């Protein structure tokens, strides 16, 4: 009887058993950042396959595109992180962790900037295409807190790529941006979108894409410096043409 009592778990102060507390602590230690969902390699493979199928079926399922990017970026994300770490501006972004959202943007100030400036043209892009920076999903399946920020940053500057490349949010514009981002980032999700996105385009648009837009996007992607190494929040007043030239993006055709 004494031996049995010695093995009994003491009651927790809040009424929970010691086993329940240990389970909660064990679950918590695996959550690397708010919203993180730990997954095994097999689970990631299944998520990647399912999200790829849904993204190809409906390219506007941004949630599926996001899952695909997280579950297939195991090689590209560390490479992007290293590029940021070895660049003064990119390293500062990694340290300060800025976010592009309506809560962090002074929209009235950006609207008051001169035409042609990055801030004014970015706001114009958001309003003309009726898109919001707040729709970018936070990462869930990236098993590294720093890499999770890298993919979040990539998502938040995606609309700025549209602005710099002069591309709308229709399917043609998205495919062009994906070709540029595929060359720049090496993310399999971007490659998939660039290759299979044109399936839904008309013959005339396919011709323009193949003869003019894709060659330009590839050349610009190869020539440009890493797009994640630009602290865009501190460049709102810079002319778009000047920033294109600085990054190495050729003028749009």
pLDDT tens track for 211-238? 999 999 999 999 999 999 999 999 999 9
Domain contains 2: no
Q: Give the span between the Cα atoms of 215 and 220, in whole angstroms.
A: 9
Domain contains 115: yes
CB 236 within 8 A of CB 113: yes
Angle between helices 188-196 and 171-185 (to 10 degrees): 140
Total domains, the chain: 1
Element (H, E) at 236: none
Domain contains 75: yes
Domain contains 28: no
CB 161 within 8 A of CB 199: no
Domain contains 15: no
Domain contains 57: yes
Domain contains 7: no
Tokens of 98: 């800025």
Q: Give the span between the Cα atoms of 44 and 102, in whole angstroms.
A: 32
Residue entry with tokens 């560390």: 78
Structural domain harbouring 64: 41-247
Domain contains 163: yes
pLDDT (tens digit per residue) in 60-87:
788 888 898 989 999 999 999 999 999 9
pTM of the entire predicted model? 0.85
């Amino acid at each position: 009887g004494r031996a049995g009592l010695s093995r009994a778990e003491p009651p927790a102060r809040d009424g929970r058993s010691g086993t329940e507390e240990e389970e909660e602590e064990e679950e918590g230690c695996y959550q690397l950042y708010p919203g993180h969902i730990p997954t095994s390699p097999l689970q990631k493979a299944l998520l990647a396959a399912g999200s790829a199928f849904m993204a190809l079926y409906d390219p506007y399922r941004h949630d599926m595109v996001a899952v695909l990017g997280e579950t297939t970026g195991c090689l590209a994300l560390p490479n992007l992180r290293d590029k940021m770490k070895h660049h003064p501006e990119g390293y500062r972004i990694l340290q300060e962790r800025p976010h592009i959202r309506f809560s962090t943007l002074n929209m009235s100030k950006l609207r008051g900037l001169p035409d042609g400036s990055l801030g004014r043209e970015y706001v114009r892009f958001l309003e003309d295409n009726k898109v919001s920076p707040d729709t970018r999903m936070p990462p869930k399946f990236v098993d590294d807190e720093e890499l999770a920020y890298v993919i979040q940053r990539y998502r938040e500057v995606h609309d700025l790529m549209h602005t710099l490349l002069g591309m709308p949010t229709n399917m043609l514009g998205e495919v062009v941006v994906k070709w540029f981002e595929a060359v720049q980032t090496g993310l399999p999700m971007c490659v998939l979108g660039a290759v299979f996105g044109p399936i839904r385009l008309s013959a005339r648009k396919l011709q323009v894409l193949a003869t003019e837009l894709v060659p330009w996007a590839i050349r610009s992607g190869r020539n440009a410096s890493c797009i994640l190494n630009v602290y865009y929040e501190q460049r709102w007043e810079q002319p778009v043409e000047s920033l294109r030239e600085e990054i190495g993006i050729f003028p749009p055709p």
